[in-house]
Amino acid sequence: EYLQAHVHLPSPFQGGIYYPYGHDTHGTHSSAGIPSLLNSPLSQQLNGHCAPGMTPSCCVSTAPPFRFRPRRESVDWRRIIAVDIDAVVSQIDVDALQEHITAVTFCSLDSERCPLCRSPVDPALIKLLRLAQLSVEWLLHCQEFLTLNLHSMEARLEAAGKDREQLLAQHKALEEKIKMLNGELKQRKKLIRNQQLLIKYKYKFLTNNVWCCLLYSENKSEIDRLKSETTNLKEQIVQLQHALQTKAAQVQTH
């Protein structure tokens, strides 16, 4: 269900066409003993055509289709006879499977004859082998396609993790700035209260003295300036709080 929801796997048969390996190369060996996908023709073609800055996921869906490979290779009966099937099963010898997977998957029995009676191989047996070969080829393609998508998802996850770290750092910086501005705002409010009290008490003793009038004017101008700065600080805090909420929402989405 997870793969169906997150990985767009193309239909195996679209007019007899799907996405297996190319005609000449099979890729390197994976840890599972199956031709791995990172050096396969599909992966190389995707890596060659993706624009800089684009992840593999944006290119997988545009991969050109490949038909099933023709079977023209003859069977090396000596190598087949030398394989100990029981030992392969008991020892889980994946390397032995890897050694023979290409020859088995892409060999042809159409021209084979019985060494005793020279009769052709039973058509039903040939059909059974062909079905097994096509199944293996399709499973190789599925492994390749899913591995490419897995690497793309890992790259996207890593990028999302870096974005999250950056957002958290910005979030912390905004919190520190808001804390500093709140402290500065408290100091300004305290200063304004002190200035207002000073003016209130001095106003009672004001006379027509020119110096008292000048002192009153200067104090009033200072209070007006402090009020204006306080208003600006409040607006900055509101803006920073709004930005902080936006960053917090972005962090939660990641």
Instruction: Provide the total of helices (H) and of strands (E) in the chain, helices listed first.
Output: 8, 2
Percent of the chain with pLDDT over 70: 63
The residue with greater pLDDT, 224 or 86, is: 86
By C-alpha distance, which of 104, 105, 97, 106 is closest to 33?
97
pLDDT of residue 39: 42
Q: Give the number of other CB atoms < 10 A from CB of residue 1.
A: 5
Residue 182, pLDDT above cutoff 80: yes
Q: Which of 33-42, 116-125, 162-171, 202-211 has the highest mean pLDDT?
A: 162-171
**pLDDT, tens digit, for every residue of 20-53?**
434 444 444 443 444 443 444 444 444 444 444 4
User: What CA–CA distance (Å, rounded) separates 124 from 130?
Assistant: 10
Q: Mean pLDDT, the chain, as a whole number? A: 70
pLDDT of residue 157: 93
Q: Which residues pair with 14 in a beta bridge?
A: 17
pTM to 2 decimal places? 0.46
pLDDT of residue 216: 59
